[in-house]
Amino acid sequence: MADQFIEVDKLRDTLRESLGRDDKRQEDISRPDVLTRIESVIQTIVISVSEGEAPVLRVMNRSTWDNVRFHESVGLVQKTDVPVRTLRCDCPSSATRFALTLKLLSVIYKLVQSDSYATKRDIYYNDPQLFGSQTTLDSILDDISCMLKVPRRSLHVCATSKGFISGDLCYLEEDDTKVDCSSSSTAVPVSSNVNGIRNIVSSAKFILIVEKDATFQRLLDDAFCTRLSPCIIITGKGVPDVNSRLMVRKLWDTLNIPVFALVDADPYGIEIMCIYKYGSRSLAFEAHSLTVPSVLWLGLLPSDIQRYRVPEETLIPFSQADESKINSLRTRDYISCQPAWEREIETMQRLKQKAEIQCLASIAPHFLTRVYLPNKLRYGGWI
């Protein structure tokens, strides 16, 4: 068993040698600074009103690829000359958004001033008719974070985590609660306040990001963390929430060990992996705190479908949506700069088939945990 991590250890040493190059993690903004930035926004509005003008708010346009650029050692970062959207109080199309933004700024100001915290759901359910939907509130919160140039955690608004984590890991929450993730059969919810985590203790050799909860549960049921101990596995249960991404970044910053991704061999699985690795358009302004560009693709590789002779009946034909998504992926700079990834995507597009991780069970019930992953890790089968 001692030699099963030789290639992983070599990778770890290589990654550690490259640490510090262009790695500028976004620092927390002090409470007085956050308050000052909010006051500056309100002051601008007051001045406009006093001069008889209709007040406006200017927010960044976070929904287009034109406003982000790819930085190889950081991921997707926001351009400095991003066009802004103007929210006018006297315009029917933006008046509601203008008012809701001011309302949320008021809530945030009170939270920061009193050094207290609230979840996004707390704020929404305090007045659900006002915001209309949780999605609207979430979007406005991101707009405010981007407008103020303040990371969301510094706004004292938390999100309920949907991710889970398990493996060789212990830490203290901000309230001194000790969390032990080492149970082989159950997982621990990802903290809602990742920034407050401290005293992280782990002997893990690697971190494995698992795309789907079903696969994560299968790894737990097969005692994967015990069989390939020491390691850490984490899932964001599909498209990852911010806390799951923060947790992966926190562990990488603290432990400096390889981070692998286990996703379905389909365009959406690849995109989810890229969110962990390079970030997303909408949160590009927080890239330094959310991305882990060292993430490596462990599986399921499209080439593995042929290599392991996965039964044809377990494969799924491409849909039109899959074709559109894979064409979109191939235009992105973070794909074109990685020839090995490009070849795998070309293989998938040529076959016009996709495969879920669960298809490996058609080879043998425990093939994933007892053959596929151990061999990948032993022989360096990542890209």
> What is the Cα–Cα distance from 306 to 102, expressed in whole angstroms?
56
Could you identify the residue written with the tokens 């209309």? 132
Rounded average pLDDT over 125-136: 93
Q: Are residues 86 and 196 in the same domain?
A: no
So what's the pLDDT on residue 266? 96
> What is the Cα–Cα distance from 307 to 301, expressed in whole angstroms?
10
Would the pLDDT of 54 be above 60?
yes
Q: CB neighbours of 3 closer than 8 A, spacing ≥ 6?
A: 378
Q: Which of 158-162, 199-203, 272-276 has the lowest mean pLDDT?
A: 158-162
Q: Are residues 153 and 192 in the same domain?
A: no
Would the pLDDT of 2 be above 60?
no
Angle between helices 95-113 and 134-148 (to 10 degrees): 70
Domain boundaries, position 251: 161-379
For the question of whether the overall pTM of this predicted structure is more than 0.75, the answer is: yes
Q: Which of 8-12, 35-39, 83-87, 231-235 has the lowest mean pLDDT?
A: 83-87
Please check whether residue 313 lies inside any domain of the structure: yes
> Residues 298, 380: contact at Cβ < 8 Å?
no
Q: What is the CATH number of the domain that holds 353?
A: 3.40.1360.10
Q: Within its chain, how far is the Cα of 300 from the centroid?
A: 19
Tell me the per-residue pLDDT of 82-101, one tens digit each, with 9 for 90 and over.
Answer: 778 899 998 999 999 999 99
Domain stops at, among 118, 138, 158? 158
Mean per-residue pLDDT over the chain, rounded:
92
Would the pLDDT of 163 be above 80?
yes
> Residues 279, 69: contact at Cβ < 8 Å?
no
How many domains are contained in the chain? 2
Diameter over CA atoms, the chain: 76
Q: Give φ, ψ of 317 to 5 degrees.
A: -65, 150
Please check whether residue 196 lies inside any domain of the structure: yes
Q: For residue 132, count other CB atoms closer than 10 A to its CB.
A: 12
Please check whether residue 1 lies inside any domain of the structure: no
Q: Are residues 312 and 171 in the same domain?
A: yes
> What is the Cα–Cα distance from 108 to 156, expressed in whole angstroms?
7
Tell me the per-residue pLDDT of 309-349, one tens digit each, with 9 for 90 and over.
Answer: 999 999 999 999 999 999 999 999 999 999 999 999 999 99
Q: CB neighbours of 263 closer than 8 A, spacing ≥ 6?
A: 209, 211, 269, 270, 272, 273, 297, 299, 300, 357
Confidence tier at 227 by pLDDT (50, 70, 90): confident
> Residues 247, 173: contact at Cβ < 8 Å?
no
So what's the pLDDT on residue 61? 82
So what's the pLDDT on residue 65? 82
Confidence tier at 26 by pLDDT (50, 70, 90): low
Confidence tier at 79 by pLDDT (50, 70, 90): confident
So what's the pLDDT on residue 101? 96
Angle between helices 267-278 and 320-330 (to 10 degrees): 40
So what's the pLDDT on residue 25? 54
Q: Are residues 141 and 199 in the same domain?
A: no
> What is the Cα–Cα distance from 276 to 209, expressed in whole angstroms?
9
> What is the Cα–Cα distance from 116 to 27, expressed in whole angstroms?
20
> What is the Cα–Cα distance from 4 to 2, expressed in whole angstroms?
6
Q: Are residues 116 and 37 in the same domain?
A: yes
Rounded average pLDDT over 30-45: 95
Please check whether residue 4 lies inside any domain of the structure: no
Please check whether residue 271 lies inside any domain of the structure: yes
Q: Are residues 244 and 363 in the same domain?
A: yes
Please check whether residue 7 lies inside any domain of the structure: no
Q: Are residues 237 and 125 in the same domain?
A: no
So what's the pLDDT on residue 278? 96
Q: Are residues 220 and 256 in the same domain?
A: yes
Q: Which of 4-8, 201-205, 209-213, 251-255 has the lowest mean pLDDT?
A: 4-8
Copy the structure tokens of residue 55.
């007040």
Rounded average pLDDT over 344-361: 94
Sign of the Cα pseudo-torsion (26, 27, 30, 31, in order): positive
Q: Are residues 112 and 171 in the same domain?
A: no
Copy the structure tokens of residue 87.
């929210």
Catalytic positions, written as ranges: 125
So what's the pLDDT on residue 313? 93
Buried b (16+ CB within 10 A) or exposed e, 138-165: bbbbbbbbbbbebbbbbbbbbbebbbbb
Q: Are residues 221 and 295 in the same domain?
A: yes
The CB-side HSE value for 245 (13 A sphere, CA atoms) comes to 25
Q: Are residues 185 and 141 in the same domain?
A: no
Confidence tier at 20 by pLDDT (50, 70, 90): low
Q: Are residues 326 and 358 in the same domain?
A: yes
Q: What is the CATH number of the domain that holds 41?
A: 1.10.10.10
Please check whether residue 185 lies inside any domain of the structure: yes
Domain stops at, among 113, 137, 158? 158
Domain stops at, among 111, 137, 158? 158
Q: CB neighbours of 218 closer than 8 A, spacing ≥ 6?
A: 358, 368, 369
Confidence tier at 228 by pLDDT (50, 70, 90): confident
So what's the pLDDT on residue 24? 53
Please check whether residue 17 lies inside any domain of the structure: no
